[in-house]
Amino acid sequence: MNYQKTFYRKGIKTAIKFVAEYSPDGKLIKNTQYNPDGTVFNEIYYNPNGSIKTTKKY
């Protein structure tokens, strides 16, 4: 089962939410970044070796 960690970065006017999804063995597999209104603006998928597999921007 995968697990997630949520991070926030506060800017001058807004806070951006980041959700990192990890595989059961602790490797990063997906990083999702959200706008302050909750919509997704960037998704990054990772290969098992840690390199970036795919990036989707919205």
Q: Residues 3, 22: contact at Cβ < 8 Å?
A: yes
pLDDT in tens, 12-52: 666 788 999 999 998 999 999 998 888 999 999 999 999 99
Q: What is the pTM of this model?
A: 0.76
Tell me whether residue 54 is in a domain: no
Q: Give the domain extent around 34.
A: 3-45
Tell me whether residue 16 is in a domain: yes
Residue labelled with tokens 């991070």: 7
Distance CA 30, CA 15 (A): 20
Residue 48 or 9, more confident? 48
Contacts of 12 (CB under 8 A, 6+ apart): none
Q: Residues 19, 31: contact at Cβ < 8 Å?
A: yes
Beta bridge partners of 7: 18
Tell me whether residue 51 is in a domain: no
Q: How many domains would you assign to the chain?
A: 1
Tell me whether residue 32 is in a domain: yes
